[in-house]
Chains A and B, each alone.
Chain A
Amino acid sequence: MSAPAAVPASHHGTSAEPTGIMSWLTTVDHKKIGILYGVSALAFFVIGGIEGLLIRSQLAVPGNTLLSASTYNAVFTMHGTTMIFLGVMPLSAAFFNYMMPLQIGARDVVFPRLNAFSFWLFLFGGLVLNVPFLLQPLLSGQGGVFTRMIPDGAWVGYSTLTGKTYSPYLSIDIWICGLQILGIASMAAGFNFIVTIFNMRAPGMSMLRVPVFTWMTLVVQFLVVLSFPCITIGLVLLLCDRTFGTSFYVPEGGGDPVLWQHLFWLFGHPEVYILILPAMGIVSEVLPTFARKPLFGAPFVIFSGITIGLLGFGVWSHHMFTTGLGAAADAAFSVATMLIAIPTGVKIFNWLATIYGGHLRLTTAMLFALGFIGMFTMGGLSGIMHASPPVDLQQHDSYFVVAHFHYVLFGGAIFGLLSGAYYWFPKMSGRFMDETLGKWTFALVLLGFNLTFFPMHLVGALGMPRRIYTYEAGMGWELPNLLETIGAFILAFGILLFLVNLVRSAKSGAQAGPNPWDAATLEWLTDSPPAPHNFDKTPTVYSERPVWEKNHGPGPGYSLPEGEEHIHLPPPSIKPFLLSAGVTLILASFLVMTVAGTMVGLGVTVLGLATVLYASFSWFLEPGHH
C-alpha cells in the first residue's frame, strides 16, 4: 500500500498492528530488529562476562580448586565462543541494523523480512549454545553422551580433539550445531546489507559520500559472506567425521587435522576484522562529531578499511606459525601480516589528525573513542611482534597472545561499541545517557581493562601458556595473575554501571532532540527516536556531511523534495520467525539423532522441513505491501 507522508502509521492497511510480544516477534522494522540484536547481545555479553570472571577467579591464585579442569575448559570455550559470536558480532549488528539505513537515507533495509529471519536465527543459535548450561546439571547423571554437554574444545575447536575418539560427548555436537545456525544468520544479514548499501542510498549519495560507519559495515558484510562459508564447510566435515565416521580430520583414516586449521582460520582471521572494523567505523563518526571537524582524509580511511579487509583473507596462516607449514609459507604469511600494519597505522594517524586542531568536547562517547585509539594501538603493536614467526614461536598460545587480542577485541571493538552506544543512544531512545555515570564508567573500564590485560603481556613473556586451569607458584606468575583478577572485577563493575545507565536513561534520561551532538550524517536528520518510516521525505545529498553543511555551510548539504511523498513499508510478519525456527529444527535434528536414535532424529528433521516449507511458501505468498 502507499500512504501519504502525513499518515505513515496506517502503512499496512486492514489488519490491526500487533501489540506486546507479538509486535516484536513479527517486526520487520530495522530499528526494532536493531534493538532486539542489541538487547540479546548485551544479555549474552553479560553471560560471557560472568564466564570471564569465573576464569579470572580460578586463576587468581596458584593451585586454585574453584573450578575443576573439565568445568574450566567448558567455561573458557564458552567465554570465547560467546564473546565473539554472541557478544561483539551482534552488538555490531545492532548498529548496522539501526544506523546504516538511516545513514544512507533509506526507509529500511532492502529485504526487511530476511532481516528479521537473520535475527531470530541468531537468537536460536545463541540459545542452542547456552542451553547446555541448564541441561548439564539435569542430565549429566545419565552418563554417555550427556557426560559433557557444554562445548569444551576451545573456540578454535582444533582437530583431533573435537573428533569422536577424544570427545565422545554432545558438547562438540552442540557447538557445531550452534555455530552453523549463527553462520546462516550472519550470511543472510550480510547479503541483505550489501544489497541495501548498494541500492538504497538516497539520491546524490555517491559511494564517497557514504558515511564511514556504513562503509565499514559494507566491508564487514563482504568479509562475512566470503569467510563464513569456510567455517561452514569445516563444520560440515567435522559433523560427518563425528556422525557418519568419515575421516576428513582423522589421520588414521587418511585425513589431516591441519585441514581443519586452514578452514577455521580462513574464516577466523577475517572474523577478527569483522569484529574490529565496525568499531573503527563508529570511531570515525564520533571523533569528527566531537572535534567539530570532518574526518581527516576520509577516502584514505575508507580505502585503508577496504585494504585491511582484502589483506585479511591472505594472512590466516599467521595463526599457524607453530603448526609446521614450512619456511616458505611462514615467510609469506609473515610479510603479508606485517603489511596489514600499514593501513592500520594510516587509520590511527588520520584519527589523530582529525582531533588535532578541533574543539574537543569530552563526552563519554568521545572518551571511549579516544580510549579506542590508545588501547587499539597497543593491540596493534603487540600484533607486529607475533607477525614475526620466530618471535611467535615464543608467544603463540601464551598469555602474551591473550593480552594482544583482548587489547584488539576489548580495547578496540568493545571500546568502539561503547562509544557508539553513548553516541547513538539519544537517537535510539530520544534521551541522553547520564554523562556523570558515563564518565565513571569510562574511568572504571579503562582502569579495569588495563589492570586485567596489561599484566598478561608480562606473564606470557614469563612463559604462562593459555588455556590452563591451574598453575604452580614460583614461576613469577602469582602477582600478575592476582592483579588481573582484581582488574577483571573493576572492569565488570564498570560494565555494570553502563548497564544501569542504559536502563535508567531509557526511562528517565534528559530529552534529546533530533541532532543533539550537532553531527554531520543523515541519521541526525530524523526524529529521536525516528518514526517507523524514518524520513518523511527522502533527502537529496550534496556532501559527505549533509546535516553539518546544512547547518554550518558552506554547501547546501541536502535538500528535500517538494510536495508529498509516497511511503512504502512492509507489513509485520511472523513468517521469518517460523522459518528460522524450522531451520533451527533441521540443524538440531542430528543432535536429537545422537540422543534419541535415528528415527526420532529424522522425525525432527521432517518437522523442521515442514516448518520451513510452510513458512517459506506462505512468506512468498504474503503480500509485501497492500
Chain B
Amino acid sequence: MNPSRLLPLLLLGLMACKGTTMNTLVPNSDFTEEVLVIYERIFWWTALLFVLVQGLLIWIVMRFKATGNEKGEPEQVHGNTQLELTWTVLPVFILLHIAIPTVATIFKSQAPAGPDALVINATGKQWWFAFEYPSQGFTTANELHVPEGQEVEIRLQSDNVMHAFWVPQLAAKRDMVPGRVNRIKFTATKQGLYLGQCAEFCSDSHALMRFRVVVDSKEEFARWAAAQAQPAATATAAGFQAFQGAGCTACHAITGTTAEANIGPNLSHVGSRTSIAAGVLAHSDAFESGEIDPAKQRANFERWIKNAPAVKPGSKMPAFEQLPPEQLSAVVDYLISLK
C-alpha cells in the first residue's frame, strides 16, 4: 500500500472500525483505485494548504492582537505586487498537478469498454433496481453478480424519475437519466459482497433504494449465470398456484411460468438473493458472509408481503394483510424455493 494512503484511512478507521461496505476509501476495482489515487493527491495538497492558511491565521492573530499599548498606527501597507503575483501564479502549478491525472482518468474511464466486457443493463425504478444480462438472457433485481477480474460495463437507464447507481468500492456513481443511456465500467479486483445505494433523490423511499453486488470468481459467476437463465429447479406447481391466486402475477415475472409482468422486480430466483425490498430487508446480519439465515428470510418475506408500504413508504406493492395465513405461508414457501 502506498504510504500516503495512511492518513485518510486512519481518519476513517476511527469512525468505522467495522469493515463497512459503502466506504469510498476502500477501492476494490481498477476504477475506484484510480479515483482514490487522484483523491489522495488532492487530499495532501489541500491538507498542506489547510495547515498553511489556518496556521498563518492563528499565528497572525496571536502575534498582532492589540494590547492597548501600541503607539500610533500600524504601517499603512497598501499591497505588494510581487507578493500578490506570487500567490496568484503558484496555485497554477498545484492545479496542474491535480488536473493532469484528472483529465487523463476522465478520458480513460469514459472510453468504450473492451469487446470482452460483460454488459449489464441496469434500470432504476421507484424504488428498486432491475438488472438485465442481455447476452445471458435473464433479468434479476437488486442483486448484481459480476466476475472478478473481468471488465463489466453497466448501462444505466431509467423509465421514470432520475436515480443514480452508486457502488462506492467498485463503480463510484453515475446517474440513471430517463431517456438516456449512461455507462459505467470497472473491473472488480476482490471477491465479496458490496453495498450500493441510489444517490439521486427520487422521492419517498429514496433512502430505501439499495442494492448489492456480489463479486464471484469467474467459475462461480458462470455457474450462477447459467442457473439464472434456467427456471428455478425446486419450484412446485402448487406453490405457483398460491402465488398466482394471491394476484402476484399482475406485477411480477418468474422464468418458466406464465408470470411475465415487469412492473415489480423479476422473482425468478428471488430465494437465492441475500435480501429483499431493494436491500432493505436483509436475510443475514453479517452481510459480508453472504449467508442466508432461513428464519430471517421467512420473516422478511412475510413482513414484506403483509404490508410492503409500511416497510417502504410509497411502495407500489400493496399490503396483502387479508391474505389467509396458509396462503401467505404457501406463497413464502414458493418464493424461498426459487433458488
Our verdict on whether A and B bind, yes or no, reads yes
Out of B18, B106, B180, which one reaches A389, CB within 8 Å?
B106
* A389-B8 Cα distance, complex, nearest whole Å: 19
Q: Please, which residues of chain A bring their CB within 8 A of the CB of B203?
A: 73, 152, 161, 166-167
Out of B24, B105, B173, B199, which one reaches A462, CB within 8 Å?
B24
Out of A73, A291, A334, A397, which one reaches B204, CB within 8 Å?
A73
Q: Please, which residues of chain A bring their CB within 8 A of the CB of B49?
A: 377, 381
Q: Please, which residues of chain A bring their CB within 8 A of the CB of B77?
A: 293-294, 296, 353, 357
Shortest distance in angstroms between A442's beta carbon and chain B's nearest beta carbon?
13
Would A154 and B201 be within 8 Å (CB), given that A331-B103, A385-B42 are in contact? yes
> Is B191 an interface residue, CB under 8 A from the partner?
no
Shortest distance in angstroms between B140's beta carbon and chain A's nearest beta carbon?
23
Out of B35, B46, B105, B198, which one reaches A382, CB within 8 Å?
B46
* A378-B162 Cα distance, complex, nearest whole Å: 31
B interface majority secondary structure: mixed
- Among the stretches B80-88, B144-152, B297-305, B329-337, the one at the interface with A is B80-88
- Among the stretches A188-196, A342-350, A417-425, the one at the interface with B is A342-350
> Is A324 an interface residue, CB under 8 A from the partner?
yes
Q: Please, which residues of chain A bring their CB within 8 A of the CB of B80?
A: 296-297, 353
Interface string of B311-324 (1 = CB under 8 A from A): 00110000000000
> Is B172 an interface residue, CB under 8 A from the partner?
yes
Out of B35, B50, B106, which one reaches A394, CB within 8 Å?
B35
Q: Please, which residues of chain A bring their CB within 8 A of the CB of B56?
A: 352
Out of B66, B107, B201, B202, which one reaches A360, CB within 8 Å?
B66
* A167-B203 Cα distance, complex, nearest whole Å: 9
Closest residue on chain B to residue A461 by CB atoms: B24
Q: Please, which residues of chain A bring their CB within 8 A of the CB of B313?
A: 68-70
The reply to whether A385 and B199 contact each other, CB–CB distance below 8 Å, is no
> Is B327 an interface residue, CB under 8 A from the partner?
no
* A381-B42 Cα distance, complex, nearest whole Å: 9
> Is A512 an interface residue, CB under 8 A from the partner?
no
The reply to whether B98 and A384 contact each other, CB–CB distance below 8 Å, is yes
Q: Please, which residues of chain B bring their CB within 8 A of the CB of A298?
A: 78-79
Closest residue on chain B to residue A293 by CB atoms: B74
Out of B32, B34, B162, B198, which one reaches A158, CB within 8 Å?
B162
Out of B17, B81, B103, B161, which one reaches A161, CB within 8 Å?
B161
> Is A441 an interface residue, CB under 8 A from the partner?
no
Closest residue on chain A to residue B210 by CB atoms: A472
The reply to whether B65 and A360 contact each other, CB–CB distance below 8 Å, is yes
Q: Please, which residues of chain B bring their CB within 8 A of the CB of A526?
A: none
Name the interface residues of A407-441: CB closer than 8 Å to any CB of B: none
Give the bracket for the number of chain A residues in contact with chain B: 35 or more
> Is A603 an interface residue, CB under 8 A from the partner?
no
The reply to whether B164 and A322 contact each other, CB–CB distance below 8 Å, is yes
Interface string of B181-201 (1 = CB under 8 A from A): 011000000000001011111
The reply to whether B46 and A384 contact each other, CB–CB distance below 8 Å, is yes
The reply to whether B78 and A327 contact each other, CB–CB distance below 8 Å, is no
Interface string of B25-36 (1 = CB under 8 A from A): 100000010110
Q: Please, which residues of chain B bring their CB within 8 A of the CB of A474?
A: 18, 20
Q: List 12 A-B contacts (CB under 8 A).
A: A160-B162, A297-B80, A324-B177, A353-B77, A353-B79, A373-B57, A377-B54, A381-B46, A391-B38, A398-B199, A458-B15, A476-B20
Residues of B whose CB lies within 8 Å of any CB of A are 8, 11-12, 15-18, 20, 22-25, 32, 34-35, 38-39, 42-43, 45-46, 49-50, 53-54, 56-57, 60-61, 64-66, 70, 73-81, 83-84, 87-88, 91-92, 95, 98-99, 102-103, 105-107, 109-111, 126, 156, 160-162, 164, 166, 168, 172-175, 177-180, 182-183, 195, 197-208, 313-314
Q: Beyond A357-B64, A358-B64, A397-B200: 4 further Cβ-contacts under 8 Å?
A: A296-B78, A322-B174, A356-B64, A388-B38
Residues of A whose CB lies within 8 Å of any CB of B are 68-70, 73, 152, 154, 158-161, 166-167, 251-252, 255-258, 291-294, 296-300, 322-324, 326-327, 330-331, 334-335, 338-339, 341-342, 345-346, 348-350, 352-353, 355-362, 370, 373-374, 377-378, 381-382, 384-385, 387-391, 393-398, 458-459, 461-471, 474-476, 479-480, 552
